[in-house]
Amino acid sequence: MSSTPMSDATASAAEPDKAATAASAGRLTARELTLAYEDRTVVDALDLDVPDGRVTVIVGPNACGKSTTLRALGRLLKPRGGAVLLDGTELSKIPTRKIAQSIGLLPQTPVAPEAITVSDLVARGRQPHQHWWQQWSEEDERAVTDAMERTDITALGDRSVDELSGGQRQRVWIAMALAQETDLLLLDEPTTYLDIAHQVEVLDLVRRLTAAAADGTRGRTVVTVLHDLNQAARYADHLVAMKAGRIVAEGRPRDIVTAELVREVFGLEAVIVPCPVTGSPLVVPGAPWQAGPAS
Amino acid sequence: MSAGTQVRVRPTGYQVVRIGARGRFLLHRRSALVATSLVVLLAAVCVAYLCVGESFVAPGEVVKVVLGQPSPDELVVGTLRLPRMTVGLLVGAAFGIAGALIQTVARNPLASPDIIGISQGASALTVGAMTFGITSYTVLPYLSVLGGVAAAALVYVFAWRGGLHATRFVLIGIGFAIALRSVTTLFLTKGDYLVAQQAKIWMTGSLNGRGWAEAVPIGWTLLILLPAVLWAARAQRTVSMDDDTATALGVRLGRVRLGLVALGVVLASVATGTAGPVDFVALLAPQIARRMTRTAQIPLLCSALLGAVIVVFADLLARRLFSPTELPVGVLTAAVGAPYLIWLIIRGQGGGRGRSGGTA
């Protein structure tokens, strides 16, 4: 709403003809966000507009500050400078419970209480909507049922989370975050520890979340950190490439993923070809050990 | 399958209980069953406690006395055994809840008031006061509450580093416990022989000579803190997750933890002030209770009931096992609870395998 000239400028600096996405600046924005652990500054004066109803993927080399940024977007980390704004209000000025009604977050390695059942864990996603005297409502039941159905874990309801496989467990955690029924969902490397089939399954699910529902309600906004650049390019509407605590480029993957960008961000020589399935850019690293590489 | 689903998911094992127009409570069915059984068990142990002693009193007479009807055994049961049993009951319940809360916040089954320095703080101050000539039984309990709370506050402050770190909390607690124990030993060796003897009995935890005068303050404490305990029972659910997930769910983690620990510390300190540091009750009761209910968090009510059962039963044994010599109840609490806990762990049901990490 407050798409100030400044925010437009930062977005179009990366990609001139992509102003359309950036102009629909959404509920969640970061302004001159500076993040630090102890004395070490990890993210420096970062501006970010998260487009509503889209999948935003943050990529970058290890220790570039992408997870740190995501944590700050989810108020898990207090900014050293600048602010994260939800609907124009600083997160630090909104009660954490109120935030939890708008922003759901799945950390990198969540820990479940010992011996908890799947349905119990998913139901705990309803926490921000419940009261001491109202621990379970029709609404809760609908949300939990719906979340478990979407993640295809309805059949696991009575099982103990401890005894599930990695892929199942990740789906349970996502179901918990979904049951929270927030407009915004932040996922910190949701595909870590999963094999390729489960990775694709989780990301397909994430994509479907942003699709508008049959009854016309707008899809959810997802911000996720991914390690795999190809997956990021395949699933992102809005790709954010970070390096050393700054955004190097952002925009539609097909507009910004170039050999130069990969070299600049990851220091990797690569060839970019269109993906035969989706047409999204596919990053194929060069092979310096071979005599005659493609590049 | 399709859009209009028939199957509605509820948390497994829970029952939705409606109270009034808006009240909707989640009741864990197995916990309710366990709690009911524990109440029955506790009643049986209490009757046995009142029957057995120097002279045996028939259960019928015991019930009469408890209900306030005239009985020839009024003196033995009503004046001697009943008040002492009541103290044991309340102390056990307080330790049970305190242990459950502290273990929850520390996310560690070993964290209990007698491990992380609360009991040692109470002991150090009480024994110190004794050696300096303060032996009045009207002052000592308050000193011991003060000692426990002070020790816990110090541990909390030292464990704080931009947030409470569970492992730090336990380790610093253990460090304080060791340091405070040496302080107590110093007082004991420096102090008068008779005083040391008296202090040692107090330090083991004893219900000998306790009566209504001790039951009333701890009874009031429990009653006044009841709303806080009800809050804690709900708050516990969220604290048992990792910090990030709990925060993402809108929990003000810092405050909730502080609230839970403070409640646990006050209860443990008051119980210690009443009967001395009765060992292992706070450690055992929550762990046994959780294994019985198989809940994802430590059940408060069942911990309280089990704490009461353990203390009353242990005191019954302490009174009778080597009669006419009476043992301090603290000697036997571990003996009563530990074998059962070990059996539960060996049988290996309802958790206890240790956390297998978030993923992997």
Q: How many residues are there in chain A?
A: 295
User: Which residues on adjacent β-strands are paired with residue B160?
Assistant: B164
Q: What is the pTM of this model?
A: 0.87
At B42, the pLDDT band (50, 70, 90 cuts) reads very high
Over the stretch B125-147, which tens digit does the pLDDT of each residue have? 988 988 888 777 778 888 989 99
Cα separation, A80 vs B92, whole angstroms: 47
Of the candidates A139, A202, A288, the one whose C-alpha atom is nearest the C-alpha of residue B8 is A139
Query: Using the beta-carbon criterion (under 8 Å), do B13 and A120 form an inter-chain contact?
Result: yes
A161 to A155, A233, B110: CA distances (angstroms): 13, 32, 23
Residue B135 touches chain A, beta carbons under 8 Å: no
Residue A75 touches chain B, beta carbons under 8 Å: yes
Q: CA angle A34-A93-A28, nearest 5°?
A: 60
- Mean pLDDT, 10 residues at a time, over chain A (295 residues)? 42 40 70 91 94 94 93 94 94 94 94 91 93 88 92 92 89 94 94 87 89 76 94 96 95 94 94 93 88 54
Considering only CB atoms, B22 lies closest to which of A96, A134, A149, namely A134
Note whether A256 and A241 are within 8 A (CB). yes
Query: What are the structure tokens assigned to A92, written together?
Result: 């630090």
- CB neighbourhood size of A250 (10 A): 26
Contacts of A101 in chain B (CB under 8 A): 250
Residues 6+ apart with CB under 8 A from B44: none
Over the stretch B282-294, which tens digit does the pLDDT of each residue have? 999 999 999 899 9
Looking at residue B333, its amino acid is T
Cα separation, A70 vs A56, whole angstroms: 11
- Conformation bin of residue B89: beta by default, left when phi > 0, alpha when psi is -120 to 50: alpha
How near does any CA of chain B get to the CA of A57, in Å?
20
Nearest chain B residue to A193 by CA: give it.
B360
Of the candidates B111, B107, B31, B25, the one whose C-alpha atom is nearest the C-alpha of residue A113 is B107
Residues 6+ apart with CB under 8 A from B156: B164, B169, B258, B261
- Looking at this predicted complex, what is its ipTM? 0.85
Looking at residue B203, its amino acid is M
Query: Using the beta-carbon criterion (under 8 Å), do A109 and B351 form an inter-chain contact?
Result: no
**Beta-strand relationship, A81-86 and A89-90:** antiparallel
Query: Using the beta-carbon criterion (under 8 Å), do A100 and B250 form an inter-chain contact?
Result: yes
Query: Using the beta-carbon criterion (under 8 Å), do A128 and B250 form an inter-chain contact?
Result: yes
